[in-house]
Every structure is written in structure tokens, then in C-alpha cells.
Amino acid sequence: MMTFLVFGDVVGKIGREALKRALPRLKEEFNPDLTIVNAENLAHGKGVTRPIIAELHAAGVDFFTSGNHIFSNQKGPHDVWADPELKDLLIRPANFPEGTAGDGEKTLTLGEKRVLVVNLICQVFMGEPYGSPFVAMESVLKRHAGEKLDAIIVDLHGEATSERIAFGIHFDGRVSSVTGTHTHVPTADARILPKGTAYLTDIGMTGARHSILGVEPEGPISRFVEGEAKAFEIPEAGPVDLNAVAVTVGEDGKAVKIVQIQKIIE
């Protein structure tokens, strides 16, 4: 058996601090073999930096996935991946355009186990001409055909629920888990699909509770009410919603349990 503790988008400093505070107790409770965090909103709500990756890795995060904002706060396109101590800790969606910095998948060795972590981004409502996550996942599986993999963990970063559910059902039994990120709102459909894949449409965020998707309400409300493009600000204090899942995978690479974790961190 292997257990994976997977967090959705962690938003800004307030989200990072809540994660660091909660992580020791969660690790004690679930005893994960691997802890994964979606990093695309770590740096004040957009992107990530070297110091932040180093900070959370030191706090107990083993690996990082990402999404459409991953390059927003980096100094250059190769910032994190140019660091020899950090480059193997972070992946970006595998179906980003060819030539994009970084890797879209990584095979991790955990003792005698080998775990493939894959990051993909959806197409519907995402505003960019990304490649198909379905085609990209087929390519990943083909590249690793014949390898002994003890688990395949997928972070599917997307907006449309239908696209993510379709992906989960299509790859049911071929990967160990498919958990969604990006919308910051947890869905209520955590389950094991019929052929053995753990599935959740969206894990949700770790970010300010009294906010709109992790940002101060004034900015988003002004856009909806007044049509003004005001800057989004990240709250610096207050309670935090922490959302994650714990997925347990059996010897055959199929999921046997998925637990949705929802806590308020003061």
C-alpha cells in the first residue's frame, strides 16, 4: 500500500503559512509516502519563486505540480528549473506548447517503489490553445509502457467539470488517481471509479476563507459590478480553508481509498 497526500492550489503567503502549520498533523494522521502541492498560486496568488519552493520543501512538501500561472512570477522562463537543487521538485502541464521550460511528468523513486506524477491542463474555458490532455496522457502512457510503475498520479488543471470527469472515466483503471485543480472550489464527488482510479473533479484551494477564490473580494466584485479591471489582492490575515485528498493505492496500482480533507486553519 502507498498513500499520497495531495493539495490543490495554495494561494499566497496566507495559504503557505496555513499549509506549514497543518502539514505535521496531517502527515501524522495519514502517514503519506508522498506529499504533493499545486504551486501555481504560491507567490502572492500567481506563479512561484525559487525561495518559495525551497521554503515549502523544507516544511515537508515532497513535490509540486502547477498550471497556467506557473511562469507569472518567475524571473525568467527557466528560473526554478535552472536551480540544480529545485529543478526535480516541480513539473508543469505536459500539454503546454513544445519547447516550454520544465517537464510535464516525473518518475519518482520512493524506496523500492516507482511513482509517475503527471501534470496536465484542460482546454475548455482556459483561454489558451493548449494541446489535448487526452492525447498528451496517451503519449505519456505510451512512453512508459512496459515499465514497472507502482502508481500513476495525475493533477488535471482545468475549468470545466465535464472535461475533467470525462478524462477520469476515460483513463479509469489506467492511472491510480486523477484529482483536479484550478477552480479553487472543492467538489463533492470524491470516489473510486469502477476500474480502480481515485477521482475528484477539484480538490479546492488552501487560501483565505473570507475571499473570492483566495483574493480580497473588492477586486473581483468591482469587475462584475462596475466592469473595472482592478488589481487582485491577497488577504494577509484571517482563517484559511485547507483542502486536500489522501489517496491510498494497492500493490496492483489501483486505488483502494480516497479521503477528502477539508479544514479551517486559524
Which residues does the annotation mark as catalytic? Answer: 69
Are the C-beta atoms of residues 13 and 44 closer than 8 Å to each other?
yes
Nine-digit cell string for 5 = 497526500
Which residues are registered as beta bridge partners of 247? 4, 258
C-alpha closest to that of 205 among 38, 31, 72: 38
d(CA 237, CA 252): 44
Give whole-number Cα distances, 131 to 81, 99, 210, in Å. 22, 13, 35
Own/partner contacts of 20-25, CB < 8 Å, gap of 24 or more, are 20/56, 20/59, 20/60, 21/265, 22/242, 22/263, 22/265, 23/59, 23/60, 23/61, 24/60
- Least Cα distance to 176 among 103, 247, 121 occurs for 247
Which amino acid type is present at position 11?
A: V
The answer to whether the beta carbons of residues 160 and 125 sit under 8 Å apart is yes
Contact 5, 179 (CB under 8 A): no
